[in-house]
Amino acid sequence: MNYIELTIEIPEEKEYIKEIVVAFLAEQSFESFSEKEKTLFAYVPVDSFDKNETVMLMNAYGLNYSHKEIEQQNWNKEWETNYNPIIIEDKLAIKAPFHNQEFDTEHTILIEPKMSFGTGHHATTHMMCKLLSEYSLSEASVLDMGCGTGVLAIYAALLGADPIVAIDIDEWAYENTVENAERNQINNIQSIRGDVNSIPQKKFDFVLANINLNILKNDIPQYSKCMDAGSVLMLSGFFSTELDQIEKVCNDNGLFFVKSITKDSWNACVFSKK
């Protein structure tokens, strides 16, 4: 599947609207975002690209933009030029195979993304890893929804979780999770290409979902159904100002709020099944 790369110039005087633009694009099925200097890059599957909606958004905020279709094999060259290792306290280092540095952290993960979301650079992935590090996952069953690169599933495995199911609707993400699991010598992750309807008929101790607001609100009822009392739900992919919407849906589905953290206006939160 090819992607549309949307390139948006964000001048310094309009920096404050960057997060608003990201939120709107996420509502339009854009799956991942990156930044370089004063430019925002957004990626969406070709079949999901709504040019009219995008044009209306750009015109509404007076932003200069361009878009082009990109192929899978072009992605590595694009991200390698900007990819630096990510360190999450003393717990985790996330780096690419071409990084030679060694880190004094409890765990190190090698990630080589295709067009998949989740390298640790985005605030939401960073926070989800931080939240995971705070829990004992020894022999815990884990479901990773919207697994992207597989980084959360792989980290869960390193923390002792078993078994693990990782699901993503995107073919590239599915393939990337399989490859990155092998790259990190992890063999207990069942990767599935699908959506919420592909969740196995079983219960999980931990459910992880770093997606976007609308998908989370739609899928939380299904997450709750595959959780037992005391099971933990970790969510991210939305802004701190949207936490109340997430909390309402969770409460309506037997999940109570435990904690939340913020980074760069994004939120990650933890709920538990009653």
Distance set, CA 35 to CA 6, 79, 82, 120 (Å): 12, 11, 9, 14
Q: Do domains 3-70 and 123-273 have the same CATH topology?
A: no
Kindly report the CATH number that applies to the domain delimited by 123-273.
Answer: 3.40.50.150
Cis peptide before 163 (omega within 30 of 0): yes
Question: In this predicted model, what pLDDT tens digit does every residue of 184-201 receive, in sequence order?
Answer: 999 999 999 999 999 999
Beta bridge partners of 191: 166
Kindly report the CATH number that applies to the domain delimited by 3-70.
Answer: 3.30.70.980
If we measure between CA atoms, which residue out of 138, 131, 85 comes closest to residue 108? Answer: 85
Question: In this predicted model, what pLDDT tens digit does every residue of 59-91 receive, in sequence order?
Answer: 998 999 999 998 754 445 555 555 678 899 999
Query: What band does 32 get if pLDDT is binned at 50, 70 and 90?
Result: confident
Q: What is the model's pLDDT at position 74?
A: 47
What pTM did the predictor assign?
A: 0.76
Q: Comparing 1 with 20, which gets the higher pLDDT?
A: 20
Using DSSP, state whether 247 is helix, strand or coil. Answer: helix
From CA 254, how far away is CA 249, in angstroms rounded? Answer: 9
Are residues 5 and 70 in contact, defined by beta-carbon separation less than 8 angstroms? Answer: yes
Question: In this predicted model, what pLDDT tens digit does every residue of 117-141 receive, in sequence order?
Answer: 555 557 888 999 999 999 999 999 9
Residue 37 in this model has a pLDDT that exceeds 90: no
Average pLDDT, the chain: 89
Per-domain boundaries in the chain: 3-70, 123-273
